[in-house]
Each structure stands twice: as C-alpha cells, then as structure tokens.
Amino acid sequence: MTVPKTSVLVLDCAEPEPLARFYGSLLDAAVGPAEGDADLILVSGPTGVLLGVRRDPGRVPPSWPLPEDSQQVHLRILVTPESLDEAEREAVALGARPVAAEGDDTRPGSRTTQRRYADPAGHAFVLAALGEPVG
C-alpha cells in the first residue's frame, strides 16, 4: 500500500512576493503565505495549490543551459504528518538519496516536518508534512 500524496512545484527566487503575484495573475489564482513557513508563498486555484514560490536570498538567476547552473526548482511532495516516515521509506526504496542541509535532522522519527532528497537522476525534492509548521 502506498501513502496518499500530492505535490506542488516550488520556484526558488530572491523576492517571492512579486513572482507569486505574477503567477497568481497569470493563473487567475489567489496568492498567500504558507502556514508555518514564512519564506514560502502559495499560488492556489479552485482545485488547490498550483505552485509555490520560496525565498532564497542566495539565488543566482539561471544561466541555462550552462551545466554549472545552480538548482532553480525543486519538487515539494506533501504528505500527512503521520505518514512522513512511511513516505520517506517509500522514496528511499524507489531510489531517492537523502540530502541533508546544515542543521537538518532528517532521521526517521525526527520532529522535522520536511526532509530533502535527490531523485535517482539527482534532481532535488522535499517530503513535507502537509499543514504542519516547518521545524
């Protein structure tokens, strides 16, 4: 049995408010802060969250397609708080590699409500507890 999941694409940028307003206007969607994460703004429509825009003060604008470009986008996969450990086991069993940022506690059973990974091809994603403050 698999844990029920949903996901939202999160765009990292230095100033999330203007970018969120751009996408809100473009998608005819509401823009508002994410609960428990002051650096994340969500763009939501009638069907739910469409996109997230997250503050990253160190972001460098993309120089695509140059290969030395930094991560510009990551996938945030949302699960219920009680399913976070099981979702982590599923992701790792499928080939995800845990990636810890300085200060992260990504151990199973930790109180951290988000955990970072690289997919089998090296793309970044986060498993995050839906509706819980980021710890």
Q: Which CATH architecture has domain 6-129?
A: Roll (3.10)
**Segments of 62-113 assigned E as strands:** 73-79, 97-98
For every one of its 135 residues, what pLDDT tens digit does the chain have, with 9 covering 90 and above? 789 988 888 988 888 999 999 899 988 899 999 988 999 999 999 989 999 999 988 877 655 445 565 656 777 888 999 999 999 999 999 999 998 765 555 455 555 788 988 888 777 889 999 874 433
pLDDT given for residue 135 in this prediction: 36
**β-bridge partners, 29:** none
128: helix, coil or strand? strand
Question: How many angstroms separate the CA atoms of 76 and 113, rounded?
Answer: 12
Domain chopping of the chain, boundaries: 6-129
Residues 106, 125: contact at Cβ < 8 Å?
Answer: no
